[in-house]
Structure 1
Amino acid sequence: MEQEAMYLVKHAKTAKELRTGLSVLLPKQHGLTNAGTGESLGVSIATILRMQKEIRQRVNGTTEQKRKWGGRRRQLMTVEEEKAFLEPWVAEAEKGGVLIVPPIHKALEQACGRTIAPSTVYRLLARHGWRKIAPDTYHPKRDVAAQDDFKKNSAKQWRNQREKTPQTYRYE
């Protein structure tokens, strides 16, 4: 283990490799504790132990692949299962163009066998290309002519209010 650390120190190309080699050499050759080694290298004791473990695994030949961050470690269903779960809802929504969340939420809770936050359904839909669309400013099936006629011919209520307001409250 000491030889591997010495080789790593001599051929280090990065500061991390140098620190990893020194994490073994300083305690062995100079009798430093892990706390002292960490202080001299500018890292925590946990990092020193991790570096020593890395060298120990290299020597033993039991290096394990480094795990990557991210992923869906707490997933309820795989992506394929989610797609299969959403198929009937999507087919129904394509006819009407709207996905309603409460029934999907209830069905998802039954499929998983536990309570689930409503935000999970929204994230599920977002993963599969559905998103919440802002409502229109007007009804899509409106009668434009009838609306324009109403705007032009409706009585303005604020004109009538002025005549009903007593003289003492008028601001002129």
Structure 2
Amino acid sequence: MKGLISCDKATIARLAERLKQANSHSQYQRIQCVLIRATLGSSAAQIAQLLGWSTATVHVIHSRWAKEGDALFDLRGRGGRHHQHLSAEQEAQILAPFIARAEAGGMLKVAEIQQAYQEKVGKAVAPSTIYRLLDRHGWRKVMPRPRHPKADVAAQAAFKKTPPRGTPRGRAPG
């Protein structure tokens, strides 16, 4: 392990600066793991005890530091679309003609988008895939208004108060 981490001042200064700019706790601890070894020369067991890690993890971090250098600290975030059929740019290309038609006053039909998507992907996909695609690109289902814009609210309220014919209160005269 002695040759894995160089103890020169430039490396220590670079690690110390990087420690100040760490974005997450895990990134901070990785930098600490290498920095402690470079500055103090502590053993893997001592570093593991300081960080609350196993000795094997410290060995892995030191080994990866020797192979990868600073790339070790650039952690990928969790989550994401690991099983995607197409990238966001490719999805946007598929949607482009449909968006142009919708902006000209036409309607989007999920079945047509699904057909184009399936041709691009080369396999069948569920309609829910297309609805999620539309949601990712900022589209939503537009519903009709709950009432007609020319409806007379006062007339409707008056009608509701009028009892129907053939009931005891609404008997026909005679």
Per the normalisation by structure 1, the TM-score is 0.56
Q: CA deviation at 1:74?
A: 3.5
Give structure 1 stretches of 5+ with no counterpart.
Answer: 165-172
Tell me the CA shift for residue 39 of structure 1: 4.4
Counterpart pick for 2:76 among 55, 68, 76: 68
SS at match of 1:144: coil
Question: Aligned partners of 1:161 and 1:54: how far apart in 2?
Answer: 87
Measured on the aligned residues, the alpha-carbon RMSD in Å equals: 4.2
2:108 is the counterpart of 1:99 = yes
Residue 42 of structure 1 deviates from its aligned partner by 0.5
Change (3 A) 1:127 1:25: same
1:19 aligned onto 2:33 = yes
Q: Is it true that 1:108 corresponds to 2:117 in the alignment?
A: yes
Q: Which runs of 5+ in 2 are unaligned?
A: 20-27
Tell me, in whole angstroms, the C-alpha distance in 1 between the residues paired with 2:124 and 2:71: 36
The residue type paired with residue 76 of structure 2 is: K
Partners in 2 of 1:95 and 1:74 — Cα distance? 34
Note if contact 1:20-1:51 (Cα within 8 Å) is conserved in structure 2: yes
Measured after TM superposition, the shift of residue 160 of structure 1 is 4.6
Q: Does structure 2 conserve the Cα–Cα contact (< 8 Å) formed by 1:5 and 1:22? A: no
Matches within 5 A, 1:153-172: 156-157=162-163, 160-162=166-168
Distance 1:55 1:102 in 2: 51
Match of 1:84 among 84, 88, 93: 93
TM-score normalised to the size of structure 2?
0.56
Return the structure number with greater relative CO, CA threshold 8 A, min gap 6.
2
Cα deviation per residue 1:99-158 (whole Å; 9 max; x = unaligned)?
Answer: 232332343233312233433322322333322345422245xx436x865665689456
